[in-house]
Structure 1
Amino acid sequence: MRKAKRQHRSELSDEELAALDAHWRAANYLSVGQIYLMGNPLLRQPLEPAHIKPRLLGHWGTSPGLNLVHTHMNRVIRRRDLSALCVWGPGHGGPAVLANSWLEGSYSETYPDVSRDEAGMERLFRQFSFPGGVPSHVAPETPGSIHEGGELGYALSHAYGAALDNPELLVACVIGDGEAETGPLAASWHSNTFLDPVHDGAVLPVLHLNGYKIANPTVLARLPEAELDELLRGYGHEPLHVTGDDPVAVHRAMAAAMDTALDSIARIQREARNGGTVVRPRWPVIVLRTPKGWTGPDEVDGLPVEGTWRAHQVPLAGVRDNPVHLAQLEEWLRSYRPEELFDEHGRPRPQVLACVPAGSRRLGATPHANGGLLLRELPIAPLQEFAVPVDKPGMTLHEPTRVLGDLLESVMAATAGRRDFRLVGPDETASNRLEAVYDASGKAWQARTLETDEHLDRHGRVMEILSEHTCQGWLEGYLLTGRHGLFSCYEAFVHIVDSMVNQHIKWLRTSRSLPWRAPVASLNYLLTSHVWRQDHNGFSHQDPGFVDHVLNKSPEVVRVYLPPDANTLLSVADHALRTRDHVNVIVAGKQPCFDWLSLDEARLHCARGAGVWEWAGTESAGQEPDVVLACAGDVPTQEVLAAADLLRRHLPDLAVRVVNVVDLARLMPHEEHPHGMTDSEYDALFPTGKPVIFAYHGYPWLIHRLAYRRTGHAHLHVRGYKEMGTTTTPFDMVVRNDLDRYRLVMDVIDRTPGLGVRAVTVRQTMADARTRHHAWIRDHGTDMPEIADWAWGG
C-alpha cells in the first residue's frame, strides 16, 4: 500500500508539487542513465545492447532518497534565500549528486564539455564509473562536495565542522542507515553539545532509513519508531518523520518537515542571538523512511528488488546479454517520462528547474564547498615574541609544547573577531601543555556546567571530545570550508583516525589536480605525549607508528616533522600553519627538553630539513668523518648528543659527525618526494662508505625504507622503537629499545672499521653502565644521577 506518514502541515501548492516531482523524476532518470547508458541518452531509439556500458558499476539503492533530499533542499534554499551546503553520507549515491549538479547547471559551469543538453547528458552518462571518467561516488571532482563517498561514519562530524563559525550557513547532512551503525557516527551525534547558536551555523541531519546495507538489514531501520525517537531525543534532537512510498504524499510530508525544521532552527538562532535563554536547544532531525531502490524495478527474475538489499547496487545485471533485462531497463527509464522533463535539445524544461536556486545559492556552486575561495591568511605574530633564548646549546630546558601554546594563544586572540581558527583534541589541551590558549578562548560547551568546571565557554573555539574520530571530522569540515586549525593528540591514539586521514590525503591529492578547487589550509597534527615519555602510562600508550602510515601516502601532500627542541617546534609550526593542501604531522614532546638552537639557527636548520651540527661533532674541517651519528626526534637527539659527549671523552681521536633530521622526507630521493635530497646532497651529509648510526623516534625500518636506494644504505644502522615498553623510567624506555647513549657508543665501536680492538675497554664500560642502570632503577625507582643530571658539556 502506497502511503506517507505526515505529522506536519504542508503549504505546497499543486504547481509547486508538480515542479518538485518533475525535478525528482529528472534526477532519478539521470541517476539510472549514469549507471547503465553510454549512448541514446533520451531514448530517441529503442534501447539496444550497444547503448549499454560493458561494465555496470554504481549504487542505485540510495539514489532516489538523495534525489528527494536534494530536490527539497532546492525548494527551501530558494524560498528562504538560504546559504546552504549538503554533506552526502551515503556517498556511493554519486549518481544522484552528479545528476542534481547537472540539472542546476553548476556541473556544466565547472566542466563546460558536459553541457546541459543532449550531448552533455551523453557525456555525463558515459563518464560515470568509466575509464577516464569520474568515480562512482561523491568525490573531489563533484561540485558542491566536501565529503568523500564511502567514508562511512564521518558525514555528521564533517557537517558540524562546516557549520562552526559560519553563522549564516545551513548544513544539511544525509546519514545512511548503514553509516549510522558505525562508531564514529554514533559519537558525532554529540556534536550539538558544542554548537554555538550565536556564532555557528546550523546542522540539519536527515537520517535516511531505507532498511538495508549491501546484504543485511540495518539496526536503526528495524527499531520501533518510539525507541528510535528516544535515542534521537537522548542525543539532543527533536525527530520529524517522513515515511512512505507514494511520491505525492512523500513530497508533501518532506516539504512540511523541512519547513518545520527550518522554522525551529530560525527560532533557536534568533533567541540565542537576541540575548535570550542560554539553555541548550533541542535541534530538529528528519527521519526519512523510503524504500531502497525506490521507483526502480519491483522484481527481477522473480525475486523482489525494490525495498530490499538487492536494490543496493545494480538491480538489473547482464543487460547487454539478457533481452528481458534490457526490456525491463527501458521500461524503468521510460517510467520517468523523460519527454516531459527534457526538451528537444535535451535541456531540462522550465518546470524541472522551477525549484532550483540561482547562482552561488545552488548546492553545487556554494563557495563553502570550495573553501579555498573563502580562505584568509592566518595572522601569526613574529616568532621572536615566543622564542626561548639559547646562548649555548644544551644549557637550558623548556617544555616545547608549552612554548608553542603561547604562539597558539596569540593566533587564537588575533582571530577572535573573524573566528576562523580552532584547536581540537581529545580532552588533552592542558595535558599537552597548550593551556595558554584558554587566555584567548575557552572550551566550546553548550551543556550544563558546574562550579568545579574550568574554561568552559559557550562561544569557545577550543574543542575537546574524547573521540579522535569526531575531532578529525570537525577539523576536516572546518578546513574544507575555508578555515584554519590544529589537531593535538597523544601519539599512540591518533591511529584511531588512520582511515580518516587516508581519505583526506586522497581528497587533497585529487583536489590539487582540479584547477577549479582553490587550495585549503593544511591539516596539521601535533602529536605529543609521545612514545619515549609514556614511561608512566606504560606499554598501551607507546606507539609511534602514525608516521609510518602517513609516509605511505601521496608525497605531494604528506609532510612529517620531528623538531628536536622548542625553537625548532616554533619554526615548524609557523611553517605548517601557513601551508596549503598538505597534511603536516609534527611530533614533539611536552616534557622538559634541552634547548639546542637559537631561533635564527632553528629557522635555518628547519629550512634545510636536515643538517650537520658542527658544534656537536669532532670532525676536522675538510676531512671526512670516521662515523656519523644521526638523529630524528627530541629524545633520540638527546641520546645522540649524550653519545657524542661520551665519544668525545673516551675516544677523542675519533672524527664524529652529528646530523639532525627535522623533515623526514629529506631522506627520500628527490624523485620520490619534493622535499627529498638529491644523491649528491645525501652523500655529502652521509659520506659513502662511512658507518651511520641513526637514532630515530619511531620504528627503525621506516628509515631504512626511506633511504634504501641510497648508495650508503649498506652502512646505515638504525635504532628506534621496537615494541619494548612498560611502566618504567624515562631512560629505561630507551635502554629497553637499544636507543640509549651507551648502546649508540657500542654501535659506533662495533661498526667503525678498526675501532673494535682498540676501543674494547670503552665498549666494556658502556655495557657496564647499562648493567648498572638496570640495578639502579630497581633499587631507587628513578634514573641514575649521571643520566638525570646530564647536560651537554661540549
Structure 2
Amino acid sequence: MPQDDQQASAVLTDDELRGLDAHWRAANYLAAGQIYLLANPLLTEPLSPEHIKPRLLGHWGTSPGLNLVYTHLNRVIKARGLDALCVWGPGHGGPSVLANSWLEGSYSEIYPDVSRDAAGMGRLFRQFSFPGGVPSHVAPDVPGSVHEGGELGYSLAHAYGAAFDNPDLLVACVIGDGEAETGPLAASWHSNKFLDPVHDGAVLPILHLNGYKIANPAVLARIPEPELDALLRGYGHDPIHVTGDDPVQTHRALAEAFDRALDRIAGIQRAAREGGAGERPRWPVIVLRTPKGFTGPAEVDGKPVAGTWRAHQVPLSGVRDDPEHLRQLEAWLRSYRPEELFDAEGRPTADVLSCVPEGPRRLGAGPHANGGLLTRALPLPDPDRFAVAVDRPGGSTHEPTRVLGDYLEEVVRDTAARRNFRLVGPDETASNRLDAVYESSGKAWQAQILQVDEHLDRHGRVMEVLSEHLCQGWLEGYLLTGRHGLFSCYEAFVHIVDSMVNQHVKWLRTARELHWRAPVPSLNYLLTSHVWRQDHNGFSHQDPGFVDHVLNRSPEVVRVYLPPDANTLLSVTDHVLRTRDYVNVIVAGKQPCFDWLSMDQARAHCARGAGTWDWAGTETGDREPDVVLACAGDVPTQEVLAAAQLLRRHLPELAVRVVNVVDIARLMPQGEHPHGMSDFEYDGLFTTDKPVIFAYHGYPWLIHRLAYRRTGHPDLHVRGYKEMGTTTTPFDMVVRNDLDRYRLVMDVIDRVPGLAVRAAAVRQRMADARTRHHAWIRAHGTDLPEVADWTWTG
C-alpha cells in the first residue's frame, strides 16, 4: 500500500462530496429498481402496476449500507492506487453489488447484453430474482465476488484467506450485525493473530450495524458502545466509529474513517517491512452505524419502516394492488433524482462516475476476485522419490500420512518463493504425522512466543487453529484468489464444516457454468485419525459420515478417494493437488499400515479407481469367481486380505476374486457421475450374479445407495461402520461392527450356494475365533496374537 500513516486524513471538497453522494444515490436507485421494476427503468413515465414485477423478491434493508461502503471504497482505491477486494458478508446483499458493478462498467463488460444504458438497466432490473435471471445474494454470477452471501458466518475468514500471501492487496470485509452473532464469525476475529504484515496483505473489517436482522434486534447494535469497543479491542483491533442518518455528515465521517484506517494499515506494513517491527500490531476496524433501509420509506401503512426490521426485505409489498403503495414507491424512487444521475440514454453521468477507479482497480474487475486468472501451477515433486519399496505385497508397513508428510515438506519448500501453498488444520499437523513440513515452514503465529514453544514462525505457512470453521474459511479464501492448499483434519470432526463445504460446492458448480470465471485450485481434504483407529479416543471420535455428506453434492464437483496404503496415498495426493474446481476428499490412516502396491502399481490402480488384485485372489483360468471380496479403505482392505487368506487355507477349492476400490464414485452409474462405471465395466468387475462381500470404510448403506441400480445389487452384502464404537483395541473395533476377517469368511459361507452345509465346520471355527477374541481382550487388553502378528503370506 503506497500511503503511510503520516499522511493527514483528507477533507472532502464540495466536488468530491457531490460525486460521492451522486454515486451513492445512483446505487440506491438501482438496488431498489432491481427489487421492484419490470419496465420503465428511468421513470420516463408515471409508474403503473404494469411496470412492477409480479413477485417482489430481494432485500432492501442492507443495500444502502453496502452501497455506501462500495462508494467510499471506490474513492480510496482511486485516490491511493490500491489493489483491493471486498468480501460482502451481509446475506442477500446482491442488489447493491450488482448495482455498483453495473455503474462501474465491469458488469456490462462480462455481460454485454446488460449494457450501461437504459436498455441494459432494464435488463439489470428484470433479471434480478426472476426466472432465468440472477439470485438475490452475492453469487458467483456477480463480478468481484468471492463469497456467497446466502449463508452467514464466513466473510471474515474468507477475507483473511484472500489476504494471506497477497502483500499488496487490501481486503475490505463488510460484516453484517446479524452475521456478527454467528460462531464462525466470532472465531474469525482471531485471524489477526495469524496475519503476517510482511508477506500478507491487509484486512479491513467494516462492522455494519443497522440494528436489526429479519425480525429481531442485532446484539452488537444494542450493547453500549463502550462494551462493543472493549470487545473489539480485546480481539486486537482499534475501532473507528461512524454513526449517521444524515447523508452529508455520513459521507464526511466515513471518508475520514477510511483515510484513518488506511493510513494506519500502511504505517503497520511500513514498520514491519522496512523497520522490522516484531510486535503484533493492532489493526483498525470501522464500525459503521446507519439505519436499516437508509433513504427508503420512513413509514408504510402507519407503521415505521426505515430504521426497523420492516425494512429488511421489501418495504412496500402491495405495489401492484395498492395505489398508495404504488405512489409511495414512485416517490421513493424519484427521491434519488435519477434525472441527475443518468443521461437521456440511461448512462451514468460524470458526477456519478467521478469516484470510480479504472480498469482492474474496479472492485468488479480485480483479478483476485477471479482467482483462476492468477493461478500458477504448483511445482510438485515426483512421488516416486518418496515411495516406499514394495518387494512383495504386505511385506512391510509404513504410516501413510508420515510418508505423505515428506512429500508435502518438499511442496512447502519449493513454494517458499512464490508463497502459493498453505497447509491448514485444527492443531493436528503433528498428530496426523505431517510434521515433516516444519522443516520448510513453521506454524503461522503473530501472538506471544515462549522459549518452550516449537515451530512457531512469524512468516509461517502452516496454519493451525482449533477451529475447523477458520481452517475451512481461510483455505476457501486462499483458493478462490488463485492459490493452493490442503486441509488436514480428524475424520470425525470435519463435520463441523458440513455447511461450509455445501456452500463451496455450490459456488464451484455455478462458477463452472460462467464462461468468464477461470478454474481455481481444488479444495482438498485429508481426513485421517479415522474411525477404525480412534480406539483410544472412543465413540466421540468415531464418525466416517463426511464421505456420505460430500457424495450427496454436485457430482461434477466432488471426488472421494480411499487409498489403501502409503503409495496409493502419494499417488492420489499428487493427483488432487493438480486439479481445479473440485472438492477432493482423501481418507487415509496415520497408523502403521501394510504396503500393498509398488509406486507403479499404485499409480495404475489409482488411475483405474477400482480393480482386481489378482495376487490376492484364487481365480484360475477362465472360471468365474465363486465370490467377490471387495474393499475400500485401509483397514477394510487388511480385513479382506486376511479373510482371503483364511479362505485360501480352509476352502482352497473356492474361487475368490479380490477387488479394491480407491475412487468411491466409480461405483456409481456412468450417467450419474463423471467417474462412474458403465454397466459393462461394473459387471465385468463384480459379476452379475455372484455374491459380493464388500468391506467398506464408512456407513454400509452408502455403497448400497451408489450401486442400487446395478444388475448384481441383490447379491451385494456390505459391511462397514454401524455406530458400534467405544474405547477398545483396534481389532475389537472391526469385530464390534462385523467388519472383521472372521465375520467376512462367515458371510462368504452364508452366501455362496452350497457352502452352508459343506463348510459348516469352517464357519463354526470363525465364530469361535470371535468368541476367543472377546475373552482375550478382556483378559489381556490387547488383540489376539494371531491378529496382532498377522502378515500376508499369499
- Shorter-chain TM-score tier: over 0.9
Cα distance in 2 for partners of 1:685, 1:146 equals: 43
Cα distance in 1 for partners of 2:727, 2:617 equals: 34
Deviations 1:512-563 (A, max 9, x none): 1101000000000000000000000000000000000000000000000000
Cα distance in 1 for partners of 2:179, 2:369 equals: 22
Q: Does residue 366 of the first structure (1) align with residue 366 of the second (2)?
A: yes
Query: Is the partner of 2:739 in helix, strand or coil?
Result: coil
Q: Does residue 12 of the first structure (1) align with residue 12 of the second (2)?
A: yes
Deviations 1:271-312 (A, max 9, x none): 000143200000000000000000000000000000000000
Q: Does residue 517 of the first structure (1) align with residue 517 of the second (2)?
A: yes
* Corresponding position of 1:295: 295
Deviations 1:576-597 (A, max 9, x none): 0000000000000000000000
Query: Is the partner of 2:653 in helix, strand or coil?
Result: coil
Query: Is the partner of 1:711 in helix, strand or coil?
Result: coil
Cα distance in 2 for partners of 1:450, 1:776 equals: 47
* Corresponding position of 2:263: 263
* Corresponding position of 2:625: 625
Cα distance in 2 for partners of 1:10, 1:143 equals: 30
Identity %: 82
Query: Is the partner of 2:85 in helix, strand or coil?
Result: strand
* Corresponding position of 1:501: 501
Flag the 1:19–1:46 CA change in 2: closer, same or farther, 3 A: same
> What letter corresponds to residue 466 of structure 1 in structure 2?
L
Which shifted more, 221-230 or 270-279? 270-279
Deviation of 1:91 after TM superposition, in Å, equals: 3.5
Deviations 1:313-353 (A, max 9, x none): 00000210111100000000000000000000000000000
> What letter corresponds to residue 497 of structure 1 in structure 2?
V
Q: How does 1:188-207 map to 2 (within 5 A)?
A: 188-207=188-207
Query: Is the partner of 1:370 in helix, strand or coil?
Result: helix
Cα distance in 1 for partners of 2:622, 2:265 equals: 72
* Corresponding position of 1:50: 50
Deviations 1:631-680 (A, max 9, x none): 00000000000000000000000000000000000000000000000000
Q: How does 1:291-370 map to 2 (within 5 A)?
A: 291-370=291-370
* Corresponding position of 1:32: 32
Q: How many residue pairs were aligned? A: 787
> What letter corresponds to residue 380 of structure 1 in structure 2?
L
Deviation of 1:9 after TM superposition, in Å, equals: 5.7
* Corresponding position of 2:428: 428
Q: How does 1:22-171 map to 2 (within 5 A)?
A: 22-171=22-171
Deviations 1:397-432 (A, max 9, x none): 000000000110000000000000000000000000
* Corresponding position of 2:788: 788
Deviations 1:96-149 (A, max 9, x none): 000000000000001000000000000000000000000010000000000001
Deviation of 1:623 after TM superposition, in Å, equals: 1.4
Query: Is the partner of 2:15 in helix, strand or coil?
Result: helix
Query: Is the partner of 1:578 in helix, strand or coil?
Result: coil
Q: Does residue 475 of the first structure (1) align with residue 475 of the second (2)?
A: yes
> What letter corresponds to residue 305 of structure 1 in structure 2?
V
Query: Is the partner of 1:240 in helix, strand or coil?
Result: strand
Cα distance in 1 for partners of 2:631, 2:140 equals: 38
Query: Is the partner of 2:459 in helix, strand or coil?
Result: coil
Cα distance in 1 for partners of 2:645, 2:732 equals: 19
* Corresponding position of 1:5: none
> What letter corresponds to residue 727 of structure 1 in structure 2?
T
Q: How does 1:574-593 map to 2 (within 5 A)?
A: 574-593=574-593
> What letter corresponds to residue 532 of structure 2 in structure 1?
W
* Corresponding position of 2:442: 442
> What letter corresponds to residue 458 of structure 1 in structure 2?
R
* Corresponding position of 1:3: none
Deviation of 1:392 after TM superposition, in Å, equals: 0.2
Cα distance in 1 for partners of 2:619, 2:758 equals: 19
Deviations 1:68-96 (A, max 9, x none): 00000000000000000000001411000
Deviations 1:478-502 (A, max 9, x none): 0000000000000000000000000
* Corresponding position of 1:553: 553
* Corresponding position of 1:403: 403
Q: Does residue 219 of the first structure (1) align with residue 215 of the second (2)?
A: no
* Corresponding position of 1:277: 277
Deviation of 1:621 after TM superposition, in Å, equals: 2.5
> What letter corresponds to residue 283 of structure 2 in structure 1?
W
Cα distance in 1 for partners of 2:306, 2:407 equals: 57
> What letter corresponds to residue 513 of structure 2 in structure 1?
S
Deviation of 1:383 after TM superposition, in Å, equals: 1.0
Q: Does residue 490 of the first structure (1) align with residue 490 of the second (2)?
A: yes
Cα distance in 2 for partners of 1:499, 1:170 equals: 28
Decide whether the 8 Å contact of 1:10 with 1:252 is kept in 2: no
Q: How does 1:229-244 map to 2 (within 5 A)?
A: 229-244=229-244
Q: How does 1:768-783 map to 2 (within 5 A)?
A: 768-783=768-783
Deviations 1:746-791 (A, max 9, x none): 0000010111100000000000000000000000001010000000
Which shifted more, 88-97 or 110-119? 88-97
Return 5+ residue gaps in structure 2 as ranges. 1-7
Cα distance in 1 for partners of 2:45, 2:224 equals: 47
Query: Is the partner of 2:577 in helix, strand or coil?
Result: helix
Cα distance in 1 for partners of 2:569, 2:677 equals: 22
Cα distance in 1 for partners of 2:516, 2:479 equals: 17
* Corresponding position of 1:564: 564
Cα distance in 2 for partners of 1:458, 1:671 equals: 49
Cα distance in 2 for partners of 1:11, 1:317 equals: 41
Cα distance in 1 for partners of 2:136, 2:386 equals: 49
Which shifted more, 270-279 or 537-546? 270-279
Cα distance in 1 for partners of 2:776, 2:301 equals: 78
Decide whether the 8 Å contact of 1:10 with 1:253 is kept in 2: no
Query: Is the partner of 1:172 in helix, strand or coil?
Result: strand
Deviation of 1:384 after TM superposition, in Å, equals: 1.3
Cα distance in 1 for partners of 2:202, 2:223 equals: 27
Cα distance in 2 for partners of 1:621, 1:534 equals: 42
Decide whether the 8 Å contact of 1:375 with 1:482 is kept in 2: yes
Query: Is the partner of 1:422 in helix, strand or coil?
Result: strand
Runs of 4+ aligned structure 1 residues displaced above 4 Å come to none
Deviation of 1:10 after TM superposition, in Å, equals: 5.1
Cα distance in 2 for partners of 1:162, 1:600 equals: 38
Cα distance in 1 for partners of 2:29, 2:193 equals: 40
Cα distance in 1 for partners of 2:36, 2:674 equals: 41
* Corresponding position of 2:384: 384
Q: Does residue 639 of the first structure (1) align with residue 645 of the second (2)?
A: no
Cα distance in 2 for partners of 1:356, 1:213 equals: 31
Cα distance in 2 for partners of 1:341, 1:232 equals: 38
Return 5+ residue gaps in structure 1 as ranges. 1-7
Cα distance in 2 for partners of 1:668, 1:277 equals: 56
Decide whether the 8 Å contact of 1:531 with 1:543 is kept in 2: yes
* Corresponding position of 1:394: 394
Query: Is the partner of 2:488 in helix, strand or coil?
Result: strand
Decide whether the 8 Å contact of 1:613 with 1:660 is kept in 2: yes
Query: Is the partner of 1:58 in helix, strand or coil?
Result: coil
* Corresponding position of 1:186: 186
Query: Is the partner of 1:660 in helix, strand or coil?
Result: strand
Cα distance in 2 for partners of 1:47, 1:558 equals: 48
Decide whether the 8 Å contact of 1:213 with 1:309 is kept in 2: yes
Cα distance in 1 for partners of 2:509, 2:213 equals: 29
Query: Is the partner of 2:316 in helix, strand or coil?
Result: coil
> What letter corresponds to residue 638 of structure 2 in structure 1?
Q
* Corresponding position of 1:743: 743
Cα distance in 2 for partners of 1:770, 1:603 equals: 36
Query: Is the partner of 1:318 in helix, strand or coil?
Result: coil
* Corresponding position of 2:3: none
Cα distance in 2 for partners of 1:344, 1:297 equals: 27
